[in-house]
Structure 1
Amino acid sequence: MAEHPLQEVLAGGHVDAAVFALRPDYRALLLAVDGIVAGPSDAASDALLRTAEEAAREALADRSVPELPHVAAWREAYRAFGAKPQRTRNSLESLLRRAASGLPRVNRLTDLYNAVSVRHQLPLGGEDLTRYAGPPRLVRATGTEPFDTVADGGTVIEHPDPGEVVWCDDAGVTCRRWNWRQARRTQLRDDTTTALFILDALGPLTDEALRSAAEDLATHLTRLGPDVHTAQRLITADAATESGG
């Protein structure tokens, strides 16, 4: 972990003032972890996803996905920077819409954070830190930043819209439209051992609920190896706090 000390990565994390101008109630909780024994989906990750699917069914028993408070708040946030939420859904909404037919099974790490996202009803992204170039930053794009993705079975480079809210590092965009689509470059893989998770919260979600989701995620992560270490940092419009574990 000499290449990516957890606290150094978290200390460098930044949310631009232009993003907070859009949503002063936004909070980002960054959780970094190393020492993971990674691998493909297994019985444990499948069980977590099944629990999440049941939680989604209960949450949607008497309302539609867009009527859930945190989903509705993220739709408003997308409109604030010019995105159409009906066409580009945030990651939480996308997962909730898939829960009825079954959440995707990808690998242990992705399954884990998808389950936590659905259970706690907040957007949650995971990145491979060994593929990062510099610290994570949430900014409003100029429109020139590179974003590597897949189209028609091949890798292509796209660019965000000017003013779009994006997570990025020194090499380019790591996630477009706040929490819509992650770059291929930093995606979690079956052999990932060092990762960064980003938990996104808006007003309907309290700080207590945000930290509860992070602790749930951290608890499951620590079971993925005998030497797992985690650290987290909360970034808000007013202040930032840090802690390690």
Structure 2
Amino acid sequence: MKKLLAGAATLATLALPAMTGPAQALDLSTMNAAEKEAFGAAVRSYLLENPQVIVEAYEIYQEREAEFEAARDQNTIKQLAPALFNDDRAWEAGNPEGDIVMVEFLDYRCGYCKKAHDEVKQLISGDKNIRFIVKEFPILGEESVLASRFAIASRLVAGDDAYGRVNDALMGYRGRITEGSLVKLANKLDLDGDAIYAKIEDPEVSQLIADNHQLARALSISGTPTFVVQDQLLRGYVPLNGMQDMIAAMRAEM
């Protein structure tokens, strides 16, 4: 509603040139009360006769808002690039020298993260020039935090390959996240589930999660999945063909 009112507030600037000449020539502060009343009546009459102008003006307002938000995101991403793209605590996949860098903020209990998971893997396997980085961002309760701690601990205990397998397994897991379920899951992957679980409260695990939350706040990220692709921020699930089209457009501008 606030955005609708804000969009409507720009209507005089966007629509009135057709009625009154150049918009910059309009100065309401120079009008007396009678002139302002007459002007208001003229605007009202025009809008009642041409209601489509309201929709057109609001669409322009939305476009300008989107452009402003995109520019703000690009500036923030540039400022936070070291933490986003060069944190060696974050697990990576794909081509480490890829021309496109994609970062995903994820939560293992997020349904859309689970939906995106296989499509992101297809994207990376089909495009050999993408560098993919995972940011553990548990926001959906204690089970989310426990799952992220376990995934990070698996990398500390058993390395990158172990993390990749645990990440896949957690994204495919549909039950409750408990100590028992996590240890069992790891054991099925031929990992030492007890050793991994013993590491979940390690200060390094806690610090990484805290740092990821701080990074997300700086980027105004409040949901998952959220992707940072080069200098663009994509909030929410994006289907495979959408990601492919976006990356193709980015490469065309390189």
Tell me which interval the TM-score lies in, with the shorter structure as reference length.
under 0.3
Q: Between Structure 1 and Structure 2, whose CA radius of gyration is higher?
A: 2
**Structure 1 length-normalised TM:** 0.24
Question: Which has the larger strand fraction?
Answer: 1
**Structure 2 length-normalised TM:** 0.23
Q: Which structure is richer in relative contact order (CA contacts within 8 A, separation 6 or more)?
A: 1
